[in-house]
Amino acid sequence: MKLKPLNLFSLAFILLVVGFTLHQQAGGIHRDLVLSAQKLIGLEFSAAEIDSLLPDLGENLESFESLRKTALENRVLPALRFMPYPARYKPVANTTKAVFTPLPANPAAREDYAFMTLHQLASLVKSRKVSSETLTRYFIQRLRTYNPALKCVIHFTEEYALAQAKKMDAELRAGKYRGLLHGIPYGAKDLLAKKGYPTTWGSVPFKDQVFDYDAAVITKLEEAGSILIAKMSVGELAWGDVWFGGMTRNPWDTTGGSSGSSAGSASAVGAGCLPFAIGTETLGSIVSPSTVCGTTGLRPSFGAVPGEGCMILCPSMDKIGPITRSVEDAAIVYQHIKGTFLSGPSASPVPFPYAYNKDIRKLRIGYLKQDFEKPYPFHVQDSLSLTVFTNAGIELIPLELPNAPDLGIILTAEAGATFDELTRSGRDDLMVKQIRNAWPNVFRTSRFIPAVEYIQANRFRTLLIEDMDLFFNQVDVYIAPSWAGRNLSVTNYTGHPCVVVPNGFRNGRPTSISFTGKLFHESEVLAVAKYYQDKTEWHQKHPTGF
């Protein structure tokens, strides 16, 4: 049979098929893979459409491989940065300084410092009834005594702490007083870098990691005169209360965990082993352990506290805040760690016109009516919390949060990107928890989130931010269950501030109630929470055995 000569069209088609084949063999990408993969993203393409996809998918893979040749440090932020501002937002211009409860002129000397508030300790230090060195040694000893039971400390910073304490005492003798945190010991969640000491992130792959710089918050607290005495345990890579040293324990019931991921910070403060500690929250990591351990926690507005030097998990959701004994303690610490919102030429100041004696009757206070009416574990305690306001003649405005789709892929995708190298290297196998509901599996799952869906989720997030802006036309502050409803999730995605305080007990363990307010209006949220705390005594209860 005589073969016909090939025309140009036929030749081009053959070359295209050969090119496809070679590309598929080189990259391992073929039609069957796409047919299977499209089911993972809920889409369906025709055979012709898939054939057109193949060379581009191969090019994408080459791009991925090119990016992976260069290592990225955890502290590198993406060029796309989250701004929680609604379209109509105007930065708060209030420059009024915070006013705290005046210190007594002649405080009574005491030797049992364990459960004193910052206000009480500050009055003793300023009057030189107790030295910073004495306080520092006292709390280091308490931590060493109870840490075997609580597993709340990853590393002590004793040498640094004692040197700083002596420096603070010398300054005070010379007449220099830095303020309410002068000479006060504290602990920091081990996501925050302290130069010369391990910063482990609670995780086996990073347990020997040491940085040559201090986190911005630690620098700010040092400038305020506070003394870092320990790096506190953190659920591995900021999830839960399990780290490579075991499970951090709840001081109210040491058979159980302290929740997380600010596990050690809340546990130690709850047990009277620290006057205050620094925690972080992405999706509940200050609110949850504060609830379990009976402490007061402040989750500031997104960006209100500088994050430099702190482990990044989810760049558009991570927040740093204090865990303390009282609302005013939280206000005192926040005053010293807040900064400018983000950085660069568009940075906005963070106002804080806190007043210890603010008349909250001038504020509009609401509550999430349907959430409080549903059956849930803290229902009795939360209902009684509302009566503290209504019995005082304060009208609570019934509210409902705006609706929004599930935005969970935002956290999953960003966390997966942050720990991309950990997944690709296989070192995630070293992590303690290897169950489905733990980071190794979540990081792997994140690889199957399309970039388009991540962007779409953030577009819906924009709509939620706008809806919350309209929502706050009705109130200044609102009350919400800490562990029921959507408030914890919604406000972590929108970046709004929250204060959580103890409000009772259930089965021998603390319960809590949450107060939420407008962006960068921490002073109002703290004022309402302080009003509640001044009318109750739950924050003055302490676990036995400590």
Set out the domains of the chain in order of their start, with CATH numbers.
118-404+451-540 (3.90.1300.10)
- Determine whether 69 is an active site residue: no
Of the residues 132, 203, 226, 261, only one is catalytic, namely 261
Judge whether 501 and 534 are in contact, CB under 8 Å: no
Rounded CA separation 319/281 (Å): 5
Judge whether 460 and 403 are in contact, CB under 8 Å: no
Within the chain, which residues score under 50 in pLDDT?
Answer: 1-26, 345
Taking the alpha carbons at both ends of the chain, their separation in whole angstroms is 98
Determine whether 257 is exposed, middle or buried from the number of CB atoms within 10 Å of its CB (0-12, 13-18, 19+): buried
Q: Tell me the pTM.
A: 0.92
Sign of the Cα torsion 140, 142, 144, 147 reads negative
- Determine whether 189 is an active site residue: yes
Determine whether 331 is exposed, middle or buried from the number of CB atoms within 10 Å of its CB (0-12, 13-18, 19+): buried
CA neighbor of 277 nearest in space, from 230, 311, 239, 313: 230
pLDDT for 12 equals 38
- Determine whether 374 is an active site residue: no
Rounded CA separation 315/303 (Å): 10
pLDDT for 92 equals 75
Of the residues 132, 267, 285, 523, only one is catalytic, namely 285
Of the residues 123, 132, 189, 220, only one is catalytic, namely 189
| 153-156 and 227-232 beta bridge pairing | antiparallel
